[in-house]
C-alpha cells in the first residue's frame, strides 16, 4: 500500500506519483499476450514522457511511438534503441523529418500524400532511403469519446485505403523510400474489441493485396488505444485483444507492433492534492483544492471521470460536492456531485488513474508551476521531476 499521506508531507502537493511496479507489470503482461508472434511494443510517449518512466520501459525492452522530434529525443535519451522508435503524427516539420532520418529510427509513419512527398524529397536531399509506414484510415467507428476517436474518414488522421495503396506503389518505385510498415489507430480508451478486429481485418487484407504487388510489409502496427478502468467500465482482456488481432494475420509473416500509452501508465499514477477550503453557495458545496485543471486537464477537457478519495478522513458523514481548483475558469474542476466527507484545510485527496495524459497535458496557466513527479517502487520513493519554481516559469522570457 502506498502511504499517500507521508509522501504528500515529504514532497508537498499537488503531486504526481507513479507506481513503477504497476508500469512494469502492465508492459510485461501486454508483451506476454503477443508471445505467439514476433512483436514490438512501442510505448506511446505522449501518455507520460517522463525520462524515468521511459528508462524503466527501455530496461524491459520497450520501443517508443513518438509524435514529435522532442519525443524521439526523449526516447533515445532514455536508452530506447533507435531501431525500436517510430515517428507518427499528422503534421511533421521538415526539420523533424530530417532529424528522424539522420537518427536512423525504425520508421516514419506517413499520414498524408503531401507528407509522403515531403519525406521523399528530404530523403533524396540527404541521399538516404527512408523507411516508412503509412497510416491507413479503415473508416471504423471506435465507439469512444469523439475527441479521442481517430479511425473514421471524418477524422484528420491517416490515408483512405485506396489512396494508401497508390502511395505504397509509388514508394516501391521510389529510390528514396522503403515501405516497411502499415499502421492504423482507431481511437483511444477502447473498451470494445469488435472495431479493433474489424480494422485489423481490413488492414491485413490490404497487406495481402500489397504482397501480390511484391510489396512486402514487415511491420503490422495496430496502434494503441487499449482502455483502462477509470470507474466500473468493462475493459478488454489482453489475451482476447492479442488473439483478435493475431487471428486476422494468417499467412502473413509480420512483426506485430502495438503502441499502448494509457494501458501502460494510466493506472500506475495518482494525483495528490490538498484541500484549501470548503465553500458553500446556496445549496451547493465546493471543495477547493490546491491542484487544478493546469495540472490534470482530463475532467475539464473531456468530462473524464477520475475516482477521488479522501485519505485518512474518519468522518462517516458524506455529502455531495464539486471538487474544484483555484483557476479562474468555471471549467476548472476534477469532479462534480461526488460524495465526500466534510473536509478541512490540508486534508488530502487522491485522484486515481492519473498516470496517462495527466502531467503531459499540464500547463502553466495562471502562472502556476507544474507539480512535482515522484516514482515509487520496491526500492522506495524518489523524485523524478522537481516542482517548478517561479524562476522556471520566467526563465525563457526577456525583460
Ligand atoms: N498511437 C497513436 C497513433 C495515437 O494517436 C495514440 C494516442 C496512441 C498510439 C496511444 O493511445 P493510448 O494507448 O494511450 O490510448 N489525451 C487523451 C488521449 C489522446 C490520445 C491520442 N493518441 C486523453 O486524455 O484521454
Per-run averaged pLDDT (10 residues), the chain, 399 residues: 96 98 98 94 98 98 98 98 96 97 98 96 98 91 63 71 94 98 93 93 96 97 96 93 96 97 98 97 94 98 96 90 96 97 96 98 98 97 98 94
Question: What is the CATH code of the structural domain delimited by 34-260?
Answer: 3.20.20.10
Q: Which atom of ligand 1 is closest in space to residue 266's alpha carbon? A: 14
pLDDT at 399: 78
pLDDT at 44: 98
Q: Which of 42, 66, 258, 328 is catalytic?
A: 328
pLDDT at 36: 83
pLDDT at 148: 58
Query: Which of 42, 44, 134, 295 to mutate to test ligand 1, by most ligand atoms within 8 A of the CB atom?
Result: 44
pTM above 0.85, yes or no: yes
pLDDT at 46: 98
Residue 150 Cα to ligand 1 midpoint, Å, equals 9
pLDDT at 146: 63
pLDDT at 157: 73
Q: Which atom of ligand 1 is closest in space to residue 109's alpha carbon? A: 3
pLDDT at 315: 81
Residues with CB under 6 A from ligand 1: 44, 47, 65, 88, 148, 185, 188-189, 223-226, 259-263, 298, 356-357
Could you identify the residue written with the cell 492534492? 273
- Does 258 participate in catalysis according to the annotation? no
Alpha carbon nearest to ligand 1 atom 9, residue: 224
Residue 310 Cα to ligand 1 midpoint, Å, equals 29
Query: Which of 43, 156, 228, 261 to mutate to test ligand 1, by most ligand atoms within 8 A of the CB atom?
Result: 261
CATH 3.20.20.10 placement within the chain: 34-260
Question: What is the CATH code of the structural domain delimited by 4-15+267-394?
Answer: 2.40.37.10
Alpha carbon nearest to ligand 1 atom 7, residue: 188
pLDDT at 282: 86
Residue 188 Cα to ligand 1 midpoint, Å, equals 5
pLDDT at 147: 62
Q: Which atom of ligand 1 is closest in space to residue 297's alpha carbon? A: 24
CATH 2.40.37.10 placement within the chain: 4-15+267-394
List the one residue out of 40, 49, 25 whose CA is nearest residue 222: 40
pLDDT at 316: 80
Q: Which atom of ligand 1 is closest in space to residue 223's alpha carbon? A: 1
Strands (E), the chain: 15-19, 39-44, 63-66, 85-87, 107-110, 130-137, 159-160, 177-183, 219-221, 255-258, 269-281, 284-289, 308-311, 318-324, 333-341, 348-351, 372-377, 380-385
Query: Is the CB of residue 222 less than 8 Å from the CB of residue 256?
Result: yes
Amino acid at each position: 500500500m502506498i502511504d499517500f499521506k507521508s509522501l504528500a508531507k515529504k514532497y508537498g502537493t499537488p503531486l504526481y506519483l507513479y507506481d513503477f511496479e504497476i508500469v512494469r507489470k502492465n508492459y510485461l503482461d501486454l508483451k506476454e499476450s503477443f508471445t505467439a508472434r514476433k512483436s514490438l511494443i512501442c510505448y506511446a510517449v505522449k501518455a507520460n514522457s517522463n525520462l524515468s518512466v521511459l528508462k524503466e520501459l527501455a530496461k524491459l525492452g520497450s520501443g517508443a511511438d513518438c509524435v514529435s522530434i522532442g519525443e524521439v529525443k526523449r526516447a533515445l535519451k532514455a536508452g530506447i534503441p533507435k531501431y525500436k522508435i517510430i515517428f507518427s503524427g499528422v503534421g511533421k516539420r521538415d526539420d523533424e523529418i530530417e532529424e528522424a532520418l539522420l537518427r536512423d529510427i525504425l520508421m516514419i509513419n506517413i499520414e498524408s500524400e503531401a507528407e509522403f512527398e515531403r519525406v521523399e524529397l528530404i530523403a533524396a536531399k540527404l541521399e538516404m532511403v527512408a523507411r516508412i509506414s503509412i497510416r491507413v484510415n479503415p473508416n471504423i467507428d471506435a465507439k469512444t469519446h469523439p475527441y479521442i476517436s481517430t479511425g473514421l474518414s471524418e477524422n484528420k488522421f491517416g490515408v483512405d485505403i485506396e489512396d494508401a495503396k497508390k502511395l505504397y506503389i509509388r514508394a516501391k518505385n521510389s529510390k528514396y523510400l522503403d515501405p516497411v510498415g502499415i499502421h492504423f489507430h482507431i481511437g483511444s480508451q477502447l473498451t470494445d474489441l469488435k472495431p479493433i478486429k474489424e480494422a485489423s481485418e481490413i488492414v491485413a487484407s490490404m497487406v495481402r493485396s500489397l504482397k501480390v504487388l511484391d510489396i512486402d510489409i514487415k511491420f503490422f502496427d495496430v496502434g494503441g488505444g487499449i482502455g483502462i478502468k477509470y470507474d466500473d467500465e468493462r475493459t478488454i482482456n489482453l489475451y482476447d485483444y492479442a488473439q483478435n488481432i493475431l487471428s486476422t494475420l494468417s499467412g502473413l509473416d509480420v512483426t506485430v507492433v502495438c503502441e499502448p500509452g494509457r494501458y501502460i501508465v494510466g493506472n500506475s499514477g495518482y494525483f495528490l492534492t490538498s484541500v484549501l477550503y470548503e465553500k458553500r453557495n446556496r445549496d451547493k458545496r465546493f471543495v477547493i483544492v490546491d491542484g487544478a485543471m493546469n495540472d490534470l486537464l482530463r475532467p475539464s477537457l473531456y468530462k473524464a471521470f477520475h475516482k477521488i478519495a479522501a485519505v485518512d478522513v474518519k468522518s462517516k458523514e458524506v455529502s455531495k460536492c464539486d471538487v474544484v481548483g483555484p483557476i479562474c475558469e468555471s471549467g476548472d474542476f476534477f469532479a462534480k456531485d461526488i460524495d465526500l466527507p466534510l473536509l478541512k484545510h490540508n486534508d488530502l485527496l487522491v485522484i486515481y488513474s492519473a498516470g496517462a495524459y495527466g502531467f503531459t497535458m499540464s500547463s502553466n496557466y495562471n502562472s502556476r508551476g507544474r507539480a512535482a513527479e515522484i516514482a515509487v517502487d520496491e526500492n522506495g520513493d524518489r523524485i523524478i521531476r522537481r516542482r517548478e519554481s517561479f524562476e522556471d516559469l520566467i526563465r525563457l522570457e526577456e525583460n
